[in-house]
């Protein structure tokens, strides 16, 4: 229930933030901010999968009551994150100051003169959050996903309140909007750290003496697989905004993102229901309890047609929803919403199996299928250059995620029946 409420509130905050930032910045500057925020996702994923590796290994150690090993995993994760983020921060700051960011984002310099300073601030704050966000993975590993969801919701709420205060006090600038939106999540994790490791789980408190090379390598081997999956997954999300900005204009990013945020509410609901299955699957698999996995799979079988019907309904009522939500601030075409619904359905249908496969740690085939995400950029480039139509661009997005869904279904079926061999069980 707490997880559902946290995710629900998080979704409400995201919906409230869209018209608020749109009113603060206008369609053009808001499109630029949305493009930048999607680029910042890259930093969040540069942990080479350590966060997901941590939650899997932590769940396994706790299942076997190996608390000292669990503390080593937590300490080693934080140490590795610190080692990763510092050179990334220096590299990104150098790139921001030495490259023509206006040309890269197709932005008119006179429109946003503080763009470079905003990028420097955003990169610095997100890199700090990069380290502390592993706290959420600790709660995931301890099978408390509700707390992880709550931390995310608190960070988003901080950003919403700060943005609203800027709006009512008349201190809205592009720079200020960027800073409050990137500082909100960091503040939530800064407040959570002492509670987590001094009150809730003192036995897991990171310490230098608990940093272990073997634990780090163990996390690295598993984490690298998660890392490539994460990178492939966000490749479309980040590059889509950039490509739309370049092929069309920054203003076009706004209706695209509005359609995405509206339809992705389905992902929020789905994740609330299914996320606990990830670590519970790890626990069941460690205990060789395949019957639990089979029963859990039966409980989820009804969800796919339900998701499809929900998405269709959301498309039908979308004109009225947009009218209430953003009023006349931006027009979102119905065909764009429909294509986004198809894209979201393919993602959710694939995630339905990925949660189980990730919990078991069977990732090899998913890695191979991620090549379709890598092909997204050249395919989108060719199709968009030829058609000059964003709907065809979104069609390429759907085309690139569909094969992964088919493979996930086949692989999970083989594992469930006990006849998976070779690459199907790797």
Domain boundaries, the chain: 2-425
Query: What is the model's pTM?
Result: 0.69
Measured CA to CA in angstroms, residue 291 lies from 358, 419, 424 at distances of: 18, 15, 20
Output DSSP code: residue 423: G
Q: Please, which residues have CB within 8 angstroms of residue 132's CB and are 6 or more apart in sequence?
A: 186, 189, 190, 192, 193
What whole-number distance in Å separates Cα of residue 233 and Cα of residue 419? Answer: 28
Q: Quick one: pLDDT at residue 149?
A: 85
Residues of the chain with pLDDT under 70: 1-4, 42-53, 213-238, 275-279, 282-283, 286, 361, 363, 367, 371-373, 426
Handedness of CA 91, 97, 99, 103 (dihedral sign): positive
**CB-based contact 352:300 (threshold 8 Å):** yes
Q: Quick one: pLDDT at residue 187?
A: 95
């Amino acid at each position: 229930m707490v997880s559902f409420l946290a995710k629900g509130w998080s979704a409400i905050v995201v919906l409230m933030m869209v018209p608020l930032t749109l009113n603060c910045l206008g369609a053009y500057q808001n499109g630029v901010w949305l493009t930048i925020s999607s680029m910042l996702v890259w930093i969040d994923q540069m942990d080479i999968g350590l966060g997901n590796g941590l939650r899997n290994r932590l769940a396994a150690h706790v299942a076997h009551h190996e608390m000292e090993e669990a503390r080593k995993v937590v300490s080693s994760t934080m140490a590795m994150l610190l080692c990763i983020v510092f050179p990334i921060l220096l590299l990104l700051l150098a790139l921001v100051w030495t490259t023509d960011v206006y040309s890269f984002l197709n932005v008119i310099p006179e429109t946003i003169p503080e763009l470079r300073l905003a990028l420097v601030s955003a990169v610095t704050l997100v890199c700090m959050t990069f380290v502390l966000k592993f706290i959420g993975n600790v709660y995931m590993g301890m099978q408390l996903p509700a707390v992880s969801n709550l931390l995310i919701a608190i960070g988003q709420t901080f950003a919403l309140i700060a943005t609203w205060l800027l709006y009512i006090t008349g201190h809205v600038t592009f720079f200020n909007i960027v800073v409050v939106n990137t500082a909100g999540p960091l503040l939530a994790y800064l407040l959570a750290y002492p509670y987590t490791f001094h009150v809730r789980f003192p036995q897991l408190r990171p310490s230098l003496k608990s940093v272990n090379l073997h634990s780090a390598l163990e996390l690295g081997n598993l984490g690298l697989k998660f890392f490539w999956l994460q990178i492939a997954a966000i490749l479309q999300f980040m590059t889509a905004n950039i490509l739309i900005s370049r092929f069309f204009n920054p203003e076009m990013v706004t209706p695209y993102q509005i359609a995405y945020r509206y339809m992705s509410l389905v992902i929020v609901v789905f994740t609330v229901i299914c996320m606990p299955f990830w670590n519970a699957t790890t626990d069941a698999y460690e205990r060789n309890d395949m019957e639990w996995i089979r029963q859990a799979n039966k409980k989820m079988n009804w969800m796919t047609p339900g998701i499809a019907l929900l998405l269709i309904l959301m498309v039908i009522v979308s004109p009225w929803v947009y009218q209430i939500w953003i009023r006349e601030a931006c027009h979102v075409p119905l065909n764009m919403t429909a294509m986004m619904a198809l894209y979201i359905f393919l993602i959710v249908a694939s995630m339905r199996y990925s949660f189980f496969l990730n919990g078991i740690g069977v990732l090899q085939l998913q890695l191979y299928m991620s090549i379709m995400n890598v092909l997204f950029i050249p395919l989108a480039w060719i199709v968009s250059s030829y058609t000059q139509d964003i709907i065809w661009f979104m069609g390429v997005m759907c085309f690139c995620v569909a094969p992964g869904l088919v493979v996930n279904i086949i692989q999970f079926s083989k594992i469930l029946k006990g006849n998976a061999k070779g690459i199907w069980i790797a």
